[in-house]
Amino acid sequence: MGLAAVLAVSSEPTELPEYVHNNIQSVAQIASRARDAVRPGQRAIEVATRLLVRPWMVGALAVCVLSWIVVNLAVRSTGQTPVDPPPFFWLQGVIALYAAFVSTMVLVTQRREERESKLRAHLEFHVNLLAEQKATKIIALLEELRRDMPGVRDRDDPIADALQEEVDPQVVHSAIAHKTEP
């Protein structure tokens, strides 16, 4: 039974292997440290951003704008001077200010999330490099064992030979960059 099947069948964390618990704990600690590193001002901006980018905010903004227009037109129809007569200069200013704040808050939030994403990508890259080095070493050891065992026929295996060589990340990066350039 694979790990996904274990996770799907069991809601009890005690049924998971110990190494899975350790990995989950490591990921939780990394996430906790990232949350703890967020300054209070940044946290406040992100809370406000999460509130302002909800779908219901579009409706709330529309209701506010329509209410502002209706109230000012109703006051004008009674012969009194409205606070913001058409073309609603104050309303336009408030909406422009709102848009500036929201877009700035979204950019600030995205900037922090992008930094975290880059850190995660670097971590994944280092872990992948280590895994590749380990796999290369394991293949080399298996091939050496195969050659040294008298009961196993010695044969040429060009794929195993190629997989024993470590991959140079710089060369791979250059090849990818060369192939993806227009």
Give the pair of three-digit tokens for residue 157.
């295996």
- What sections of the chain are H helices per DSSP? 3-9, 18-37, 40-52, 55-77, 89-148, 158-163, 169-180
What is the rounded distance in angstroms from the CA atom of residue 5 to the CA atom of residue 82? Answer: 66
- pLDDT, residue 12, reads 52
Q: Render each residue's pLDDT in the chain as its tens digit; 182 residues.
A: 454 554 555 455 558 888 888 888 888 888 888 888 889 998 999 999 998 889 999 999 999 999 999 999 999 999 999 999 999 999 999 999 999 999 999 999 999 899 989 988 988 988 888 898 899 899 889 888 888 888 877 778 888 888 888 878 888 778 888 888 87
- pLDDT, residue 5, reads 52
- pLDDT, residue 6, reads 46
Global confidence as pTM: 0.60
Eight-state DSSP code of residue 13: G
Long-range contact pairs involving 107-115 (C-beta distance under 8 Å, separation at least 24) = 108/42, 108/45, 108/49, 109/45, 109/46, 109/49, 112/38, 112/42, 112/46
Q: Where are the domains of the chain?
A: 1-37, 38-180
- pLDDT, residue 44, reads 92
